[in-house]
Amino acid sequence: MTRAATIKKPAEIDATDPAAVREPGVDAPERPMRPYRTRAEVERAFRAVDAIRPHGPDSYDPIEAIRKLRDE
């Protein structure tokens, strides 16, 4: 089974069920991360998100996403 096939669509997710939005292998925080206090901490966070391996074409531009939101 491909990884994509295991992902539920947002409409299928029961937000009240923590297990429904949790996947194995993703180191997501159980509670809010504490504020960064050092450069090393924030650089560690950069490396942690880089370890996430998204799927699909790499064309996403958050600038465009936010611009569309602001223009709505």
C-beta separation of 60 from 8 below 8 A: no
Comparing CB distances to other proteins, the nearer of 1 and 70 is: 70
Position of tokens 């949790």?
Answer: 22
Residues in region 45-64 near other proteins by CB under 8 A: 45-46, 48-56, 58-63
* CA-based nearest residue to 50, from 30, 27, 20: 27
Least CB distance from residue 21 to other proteins, whole Å? 5
Fill in the per-residue mask, 7 to 46: x = in contact with other proteins (CB under 8 A), - = not in contact.
Answer: xxxx--x-------xxx--xxxx--xxxxxxxx-xxx-xx
**Any alpha helices (H) in the chain, and if so which ranges?**
39-50, 62-71
Copy the structure tokens of residue 69: 């939101």
Binding footprint of other proteins on the chain (CB under 8 A):
4, 7-10, 13, 21-23, 26-29, 32-39, 41-43, 45-46, 48-56, 58-63, 65-67, 69-72
